[in-house]
Structure 1
Amino acid sequence: MPRSTGWLFLLSTATMAAAPSYYRDVRPLLQKNCAGCHQPSAKASGLDLTSYAAFAAGGKKGPAFAAGKADESLTIQYLTGAAQPRMPLGVAPLSPADVQVFRDWIQAGAKDDTPASVDDNRPSVYLQPPVITSLRFSPDGKQIAVSGNREVLLHRVSGEGAPIRLHGKAERILSLAFSSDGKLLIAGGGTPAQFGEVQIWDAPNGKLLRTAVLTNDTVFGASLAPDASKIAVGAADNTVHVFETATAKELYKIGNHEDWVLSTVFGVDSKRFVSVSRDRAAKIIDANSGAFLENANLLKSELYAIARHPKKDIVVFGGEDRYPYVYLLDRPRNMKIADDTTLVRRIERQDGPITALDWSGDGKLIAVAGQSPKVNLYDADTGDHKLSCTGHTAGIYALSFSSDGTRLATGGFDGKVRIYSTADCSLVREFVPVPITATLTAGAK
């Protein structure tokens, strides 16, 4: 054959014969399917699968693998069911192709090819402020949690002291929620095209209590039931997943949506929740069984965000068509399902698609933000425009009222947190929530 064709053939054969990579092939499978139960804060059977070293060390049953001896390795035995219980526990077994990845990697020597620049346990280094995708005031109003890269940063609202850095596996944190007593902080996100993750933190002590790893992409709109019993989160595979907070065990998954599910919120009594999606629907779900109850709205446009009145089952949601809609979750008697009789009002059109909403703790104000660099405040009872908070230079993706309604925190594309007085939208404080390093040092490269 011609020399060039022969070289291409040899190159193709060499590529096809190459052993799987730990970093590229094995590690993502562990993160997606195994690390939720086998990680430092919840080492089931004494096994931590969040690093190569911990994986190699194994757990109570011994080393996880023996290089060059795939069939004798505990990893293969548990993945195939030769050892019981079959892993991953309580979910569908891995596909034969995924098991073969582990088998081939172990048989080829089980080498660690993690790049030297990658260290999941090293604090994130920032050369510029990252986009802020989520933030939330603590219930007592003294702290504010802000999303970072592979971490959540807990700042004192007063600005005193350094932030507490809650470092996790997920590269992106897309939603945050505190329990009403401030003891728990829920973070939802993941690593794009690899896995989604829900993190449950002991907020006062900065300790990761447990995590749930799911799907093959990031998750969105994590919300915590008012009684703190359940967590709901949307996903890019058009599903909603609901977890038990105390154990991080998945209770059920629902697939009633036809597009990405971007936000969720529970009802006042924790018995229902609403999920909104790019399929234009706001769906009301029974939180105990996962049964679909009904759509809260007539379909109009893609929906991106939702918030609930602090004491009533009334929600506001919005998205692509730029209008915030206020709806009742309870339908009056003698009204037909699938009409729009639960619509309370449509608030004025915004300057861009809506990506963030919040309802003040006293129930008096609704904050609306999106791809326009300002936040609009509305009278929740009348829908009248009250104030506009300005100062951002680009889109706003995160909003949070303090519990007493006197402060509003915002964040977005420009990477700065701004805290406003809701009395007049005057700027109280502005700061970059992450530590900025001017240049990378040799050890951080």
Structure 2
Amino acid sequence: MTRFTITTLFVLLACGVSTAADEKSTPEVKKVTFDDDVKPIFRQHCASCHNQGEKKGGFALDTYTALIEGGGSGEVVYDDGDPSGSRLWQLINHDDTPVMPPNQDKLPAAQLAIIQAWIEGGILENSGSKAKAKKKNTLAFVAGSAGKPEGPAAMPESIPQRVPVVTERASAITAIAASPWAPLVAIAGQKQIALYHSETSELLGILPFAEGIAQSLRFSRDGSFLIAGGGEHSLQGIAAIYDVKTGERVATVGDELDVVFDADVNTSMSRVAMGGPQKMLRIYDATDGELLFDLKKHTDWIYTVAYSPDGVLIASGDRSAGLSLWEADTGRLYMDLNDHKGAINGVAWRDDSNVVASASDDGTVKVWDVNQGKAIKSINAHGGGVTDVAFDHQGRLVTAGKDKRVKLWDANGTLIREFQPVAEYVMQAAISHDGSRVIYGDWDGQVFSALSEKPEEKQSLAANPPPAAERAKVVEQQLVAMQQTLQPIKAELDAAMNAVAAAQKPIDELNAKIAAAKAEAEKSKVAADAATKKTAELDGQLPTLVNVSRDKHDAVIAVRVQANGDVAKLEAIAAAEQDLASHLTQLVNVRRERIATHNSVATHQQAAAAKTAEAAELEKMLPALQEALLKAQQAAEAMKQKHDGVATQLAAVQSKLDRLMAAVN
């Protein structure tokens, strides 16, 4: 039995094709073709404006050849079986602007289903055409770890806490960047860049940016360096490179006559690309600052510049919807990407370098296949315009917009969730190295760090933190409060440990009694065994002694008979009788000893049994005492964890205070 998707079934029904089949045969499924199925739809709705005689937008679709050729901005439909990547589909399905037909509702669902099936089937011209094998959807993505350092990712170690400029409020947030491999986020402020721990929101250091305000922030591929582009309008523009661990500015590149809106470095940290109001994409040697390429293509201010992760291409976008890809090594134009209708405010590369996303004032985020040069996904992301876009290592997208919202999208461009709206336009957004947090800032100078899974759980970060002395006062108050919190917890911990000791004492005493009883039982068992052995030995001696006594008795009788009343032989009789008497005494003693040892066996066995029973009774008392001890130990362990947790926090606060005091002094 042939299996149909819902879309295919819908299309076949719309085209009048029967799907009935028995178990012995499968009907031939009718091909959806341009000539038979799609052309009539276009003739009804589109051909009046898009025909060979009147090509609005340089595009005609009254013939198959003209449709496949595309319009002034290139091809509009492809034979890869992916409708979402088709510009034609994006417009007629109202996924992008300008919607087609203009000023009208979408085409009827049945007709849209036919066009969708036609694209999925390989855009066949007629019944004799054959579909090509489907290409892999470029949106399919396997997260990689390219650029990840072998050891621990770079984190600030000795960056000063001094604040170069103190302001009443921060200006609009112009740049936010998250380290690709560490819990670190950088936020641009007035003449400074603040570095925060993305998980704890602790301020880790402040980088001075004396040239003005950083308009862009990007971390190097391994996260070891931070690249800041900025300056002052109509005066100066540069790109500064900072060592993340030390905060040292290791390079200052460029000397623009106007501010730099965006700057980035290649993978090897050998080149810096930057753009700004001068409409020139400039590429410098990062080691000596030499200008390598001065690329003139853009007709308006360049807002965004970004190297692909593999360092092969550079993407640049401008205020007039111009979006270009350049060969990084040669400076030659690779291709133009022309579907946007508004300013390109940001670009972001996916880890595999095959896909780049662009954020535009036209309200869309477009996801481009850089190998084919086409938009494989167009997302109507934010009404009023999209201000920023960023990928995470899973291929997910975070976007910011003029609708005052931040949104998270999956790798296929499907909305996962929206974050709570803020008071003004959201200007910048970034996602942490592990995807667990989204950091975003608005026109009003506010910056928030929110959990990706629970956006309502968020913390504020200051782009322009207060002076170290003020922060030190706050931390001192926190320290005192935590010390006061720790005191009763310490008392409770001591009480819990005493309870454990108290519960352990009766167990120790009982175990001592059990051990003593068992020792006594063992002693009695040994004595019983010894008495049994002695009894056996005596039983072995008695038969011999009895036989000897008989012999000695016979000897006495013999002497008496021989004496026959002879007085002279009385001495011999007396000696024989004395010998018999001595032997009988020995026999009696052995018999008595045997009786005593036999009786002692029973006595010792009874004693051993009594002590064994006593030990067993005592052991029955142990479980209750051990259960009481376990509860006391669990209570003590819980209290210890609570105590240690507060103590650890206290140590961290103390360390933070020490760093601040060092900055104050």
Partner SS, residue 393 of structure 1: coil
2:166 to 113, 116, 125: 125
Q: Deviations over 1:92-150 (max 9, x none)?
A: xxxxxxxxxxxxxxxxxxxxxxxxxxxxx981111112221111122333221110111
Partner SS, residue 464 of structure 2: coil
Q: State the partner residue of 1:342.
A: 374
C-alpha contact 1:418 1:427 (8 A) present in aligned 2 = no
Paired with 1:122 and 1:342, the residues of 2 have a C-alpha distance of 46
1:398 to 424, 428, 443: 428
Q: State the partner residue of 2:60.
A: none
Paired with 2:334 and 2:181, the residues of 1 have a C-alpha distance of 34
2:217 to 166, 176, 184: 176
C-alpha contact 1:359 1:366 (8 A) present in aligned 2 = yes
1:427 to 435, 449, 457: 457
Paired with 2:334 and 2:327, the residues of 1 have a C-alpha distance of 7
Q: Does 1:321 align with 2:362?
A: yes
Paired with 1:160 and 1:422, the residues of 2 have a C-alpha distance of 15
Q: State the partner residue of 2:319.
A: 278
Q: Deviations over 1:21-64 (max 9, x none)?
A: xxxxxxxxxxxxxxxxxxxxxxxxxxxxxxxxxxxxxxxxxxxx
Q: State the partner residue of 1:409.
A: 439
C-alpha contact 1:406 1:421 (8 A) present in aligned 2 = yes
Q: State the partner residue of 2:393.
A: 361
- CA pair 213-269 structure 1, distance change in 2 beyond 3 A: closer
Q: State the partner residue of 1:373.
A: 404
- CA pair 427-231 structure 1, distance change in 2 beyond 3 A: farther
Paired with 2:316 and 2:175, the residues of 1 have a C-alpha distance of 18
- CA pair 131-309 structure 1, distance change in 2 beyond 3 A: same
Q: How does 1:143-222 map to 2 (within 5 A)?
A: 143-159=184-200, 162-222=203-263
C-alpha contact 1:243 1:249 (8 A) present in aligned 2 = yes
C-alpha contact 1:129 1:436 (8 A) present in aligned 2 = no
Paired with 1:160 and 1:133, the residues of 2 have a C-alpha distance of 19
Residue identity matched to 1:295: D
Q: Deviations over 1:312-346 (max 9, x none)?
A: 32111121211111111112xxxxxxxxx611011
Q: Structure 1 residue 351: deviation in Å?
A: 1.9
Normalising by structure 2, what TM-score?
A: 0.44
- CA pair 423-193 structure 1, distance change in 2 beyond 3 A: same
- CA pair 389-125 structure 1, distance change in 2 beyond 3 A: same
Partner SS, residue 347 of structure 1: strand
Normalising by structure 1, what TM-score?
A: 0.65
Paired with 1:306 and 1:122, the residues of 2 have a C-alpha distance of 31
Q: Deviations over 1:366-398 (max 9, x none)?
A: 1111222111112221x2211001142111111
Percent of aligned pairs sharing the same letter: 23
C-alpha contact 1:387 1:424 (8 A) present in aligned 2 = no
Q: Which gives a bigger RCO, structure 1 or 2 (Cα 8 Å, sep 6+)?
A: 1
C-alpha contact 2:221 2:309 (8 A) present in aligned 1 = no
Paired with 1:122 and 1:158, the residues of 2 have a C-alpha distance of 22
Compare the two structures and name the one with the higher helix fraction.
Answer: 2
- CA pair 312-289 structure 1, distance change in 2 beyond 3 A: closer
Q: Structure 1 residue 160: deviation in Å?
A: 6.5
- CA pair 299-358 structure 1, distance change in 2 beyond 3 A: closer
C-alpha contact 1:156 1:163 (8 A) present in aligned 2 = yes
Q: State the partner residue of 1:42.
A: none
C-alpha contact 1:297 1:327 (8 A) present in aligned 2 = no
Paired with 2:209 and 2:408, the residues of 1 have a C-alpha distance of 34
C-alpha contact 1:268 1:313 (8 A) present in aligned 2 = no
C-alpha contact 2:428 2:440 (8 A) present in aligned 1 = yes
- CA pair 290-313 structure 1, distance change in 2 beyond 3 A: same
RMSD: 2.0
Paired with 1:401 and 1:124, the residues of 2 have a C-alpha distance of 27
C-alpha contact 1:281 1:298 (8 A) present in aligned 2 = no
- CA pair 403-194 structure 1, distance change in 2 beyond 3 A: same
Partner SS, residue 318 of structure 1: strand
What 5-or-longer segments of structure 1 have no aligned partner? 1-120, 332-340, 438-445
Paired with 1:202 and 1:268, the residues of 2 have a C-alpha distance of 20
Q: Deviations over 1:150-198 (max 9, x none)?
A: 1111122344754412112221111011112222110000111101111
Partner SS, residue 258 of structure 2: coil
Larger Rg over CA atoms: 2
